[in-house]
Chain A
């Protein structure tokens, strides 16, 4: 399940870097915003938990995507998407979002009820039905993302912009609009991951740190900007994180993941599936 959520969050980060060449340090904050919005929706929408959850699944990515689009227009575009300047800007954005949530939502971690309570019970072990749902939902979203990128006109426009934004403009592509859409889509994917995880992990204003770190690990190993690499690396890191955490300690899992990143950076700096610069 960790791998599935990680793949969702990391694919957003990878997409933003791939198309815009922006290293979005605020990506974890978008993930956290998704979780907090899911809590807010669950608190205010009456009726069964499933109804609130469905509302959160729709609303949170849209609202976070809208915030990201506004950020793109107000900040990133004005910086001409300069790689160094946007890193500093997104660090600032990360702190602004975290402090805003701390002020409005408070420092507590709040649970959100899972949309359904169901357990797969086999003779030798049991598994949460919700976790299985998260895996299937993440797979469906990633498949939809893949289809969007490879089979639609908007996906073609994004990929052309990713390869050469100047030439893309010479063929009538409004790259400013592509960047805005990409940043919103990346943030929306992070928010969706946040909504999916919150019935398991609770919403907290600092919860974006770990997924941000793991997402960076995933996209560095997979190759910045490579969606295929991101998915494979998310599977490897997510599974190994789960298995090592269960049989040893979560700290050891993080140490090994970081070592793997170091080895990739030394022996294959472009990542396993990234193109050489």
Chain B
């Protein structure tokens, strides 16, 4: 199973942000997307989800084209998205947020149990409004909600941003479990340490294009690519 993107061009109205992105994510592997602010990482995730119309290029999942599908059809093909800033349905309860996540798959009890096993803290908060959770709990819910879709590919946009170290460790453990279950994880991440701990492959984005992609095992924390493409 693989998600494959070729020559993707997209943007906001007349402003082109993605200028021909080629990208690949495979089942059971974590592919990180790195780059400086404003290079188009979040835009790329939105374009893959159909939330931003692509001007040209192809997006295929297992050989089936996702290009041009309305945004609400993309999750039905197996893509799930955890946006930057979580974007939970704040006034809705934790249980209702999870129910929205499971709409496509019919909200089966086994999936809910699996998700709550992964994030046991959410079980205690099922009736609480999502907007009143702590930052870490909100991030857990955002990931849990996406997992209710039973995705083949999970797109995560800076899931550990602004979280305390204990929460970051919890989220990272959850991402590793997903990898072990065979989910293809695409992770936008800015922290080198996290990338080296989690990822199998890293792609560096510059000005709306993937400039370089390499296996993480070939990288060290002080590798030149991090300075060149991320500025750290």
Contacts and interface: CB of A to CB of B under 8 A. Distances in A.
Contact of A163 (B49, B73, B90, B101): B90
A173 B51 contact: no
Contacts of A174: 70, 72
A169 B50 CA distance: 9
A1 interface: no
B186 to A, nearest CB: 14
A160 B145 CA distance: 13
Contacts, number: 62
B20 to A, nearest CB: 24
A163 B103 contact: no
Contacts of A153: 99, 103
Interface residues of B, number: 25
Interface in A159-191: 159-160, 163-164, 166-175
A156 B107 CA distance: 13
Q: Taking chain B's interface residues, is the majority helix, strand, or loop, or is none over half, making it mixed?
A: loop
Contact of B75 (A163, A164, A172, A275): A172
Interface stretch (B81-89, B160-168, B212-220, B224-232): B81-89
Nearest to A168: B100
A173 B149 CA distance: 12
Give the residue among B51, B74, B81, B100 with the most A Cβ atoms within 10 A: B100
Contacts of A244: none
A175 B51 CA distance: 12
**Which 8 pairs across A and B sit closest by C-beta, in order of nearness?**
A172-B104, A169-B71, A172-B75, A163-B89, A167-B87, A174-B72, A160-B100, A169-B72
23 contacts: A159-B89, A159-B96, A160-B89, A164-B87, A164-B89, A166-B51, A166-B87, A167-B83, A169-B51, A169-B70, A170-B51, A170-B71, A170-B75, A170-B81, A170-B83, A171-B101, A171-B145, A171-B149, A172-B75, A172-B103, A172-B104, A173-B72, A174-B70
